[in-house]
Amino acid sequence: MNPRVRALVRREFRERTRTKAFLIISVIGAIAVAFLTVLPALVDELSTPDPVVVAVESPASGQVSALRDALPERLDDGGRRYDVRAAADAKDPDLRLRLRTSGDRVTGVEVRGEDVEGDDARTVVAGVQQLALAGRLQAAGVDAGRTLRPVPVRAVSTDDGPDDTKQALAYALVLLLYLTLLAYGSSVSTAVVSEKSARVTETLLVAVSPREHLLGKLLGTGAVGLVQYGGWIVVAAITRAIAGAAGLGDSLGALTPGVAVAFVGFFLLGFGLFGTLYAAMCVGASRVEDAASASAPLAIPLIGGFALSLAALGDPDGATAVVGGFIPFTAPMVMFTRVALGDPSVLSVVVSVLGILLASGVALSVAFRIYGAGLLRYGNGAGLGQLLRRAGTR
């Protein structure tokens, strides 16, 4: 790298990392990433139901074990959904059953509990009805075990949408991607115009060329973003290690290394494009207020990319997501969403990345042409068209 550009990068990096805004955003982002890392485990932990304790009072022996066999449902961890016990052995049961019997046959049941109309109560009562039917069949000389034997059931889910936990993670990350692209792009334009209005640029241009000045701004700001994103990834890795040691490792699959790499990679690609555009759009401004007005059109593709990413959350391989992933101005967010949720082909990801790089190269070429013409222009800000015409006459 050119020594003068390297010096500008160091200067830009040093100034930006010493600000309170950098520290605040880094801390808030680290907390958010740590929370998102353990979010799947927290969801699994909160959504795992406890066994339903069923206390059974019956004058006939064997009814407790028979009812337990009639309720074979299992929890995700392999334990029984319904913990059927004799009334004397059950502490704080969810449901109490009092069976009426005639010999070994069930003839009636009384159900007590806080939710006797709920799904669990209905399932338990259905199990009691099965016992009663088995008793009647047996009394009639019919093989109850063979008659009541359930048929095999093969369940095929037709829901091919992304997992809810992955959706929540992808939404949070793409929102963070959108906000950081907006913040770092605006930061480039603010830095260019602030130095220009303070006449610092005139001093710098004695030692460096406008192109070197632009590259220093972009690379320095990009390095700050890379350090910030890298810190967040380290926080995520440490959080995963701690959560895994605490026994939550099986539920941490949503934030994979591939998603983390894509998160950083698409930020750098997006910043390379939008950072260059922000610098080019605002270089003719003399005040920060003018820079905000000049860069306002860039909010449209950023918001559009975020909107298309929201559409891709529900259908990452749908037509909207596929098209949005190939448009350079929306691809950083949309293609990241597809990578996080769907299964895009390697070719589509490569084409998307190449499209962003090509658009960035064109934007950088335009920025190189107008940067020198705009840096030393004061007074009323010049638009992009005026700067291009002025650069063409030089």
pLDDT confidence of 246, banded at 50, 70, 90?
Answer: low
CA distance 64 to 73: 16
Q: Are 55 and 90 contacting, i.e. CB atoms less than 8 angstroms apart?
A: yes
| Torsion angle of C-alpha atoms 362, 367, 373, 378, degrees rounded to 10 | 140
CA distance 198 to 185: 20
pLDDT at residue number 274: 92
Q: Are strands 82-86 and 95-102 parallel, antiparallel or unpaired?
A: unpaired
Q: 257-282 and 346-375 helices cross at what angle (nearest 10)? A: 30
Question: Which two tokens mark 108?
Answer: 């009636």
Average pLDDT (226-244) is 81
CA distance 313 to 163: 10
- Sorted by sequence, the CB contacts under 8 Å of residue 96 that are 6+ apart come out as 54, 55, 57, 87, 111, 112, 113
Q: Residue 330 carries which DSSP code?
A: T
The structural domains of the chain, with segments of one domain joined by +, span 3-44+163-392, 50-147
pLDDT at residue number 284: 72
Tell me the C-alpha to C-alpha distance, in Å, between residue 227 and each of 23, 165, 232: 12, 27, 9
For 180-211, the pLDDT digits (tens) are 898 888 888 888 777 777 677 667 766 778 78
Q: Which H or E run includes 238? A: helix 210-243
pLDDT at residue number 159: 52
Classify 241 as helix, strand or coil. helix
CA 246 to mean position of chain CA atoms: 23
pLDDT of 251 higher than 60: no
Q: What is the DSSP string of 296-325?
A: GGGHHHHHHHHHHHHHHHH-TTSHHHHHHT
pLDDT at residue number 391: 52
For 96-140, the pLDDT digits (tens) are 999 888 877 888 889 998 888 888 889 888 888 888 888 888 888
CA distance 72 to 79: 10
Q: Are 278 and 189 contacting, i.e. CB atoms less than 8 angstroms apart?
A: yes
For 154, list phi and psi in degrees, rounded to 5.
-115, 110
For 370-384, the pLDDT digits (tens) are 877 666 665 555 555
pLDDT at residue number 248: 59
CA distance 317 to 338: 7
CA distance 173 to 373: 38
pLDDT confidence of 45, banded at 50, 70, 90?
Answer: low
Which of 7-21, 30-44, 50-64 is least confident?
30-44
| Torsion angle of C-alpha atoms 343, 345, 348, 350, degrees rounded to 10 | 110
pLDDT at residue number 43: 64
Q: Which residues pair with 102 in a beta bridge?
A: 105
pTM (2 d.p.): 0.67
pLDDT at residue number 359: 94
CA distance 245 to 17: 33
Q: Are strands 105-113 and 52-57 parallel, antiparallel or unpaired?
A: unpaired
pLDDT at residue number 327: 93
pLDDT at residue number 157: 52
- Work out the mean pLDDT of the chain and round it to a whole number: 81
CB atoms closer than 10 angstroms to residue 339 = 23
pLDDT at residue number 389: 57
Q: Which H or E run includes 156? A: none
pLDDT of 141 higher than 60: yes
pLDDT confidence of 388, banded at 50, 70, 90?
Answer: low
CB atoms closer than 10 angstroms to residue 76 = 10
Percent of the chain's residues with pLDDT above 70: 82
Question: Which two tokens mark 79?
Answer: 């334990």
For 308-355, the pLDDT digits (tens) are 999 888 888 888 999 999 999 999 999 999 998 878 889 999 999 999
pLDDT at residue number 343: 80
Sign of the C-alpha dihedral computed for residues 296, 302, 307 and 308 taken in this order: positive
Which of 109-118, 259-268, 291-300 is least confident?
291-300
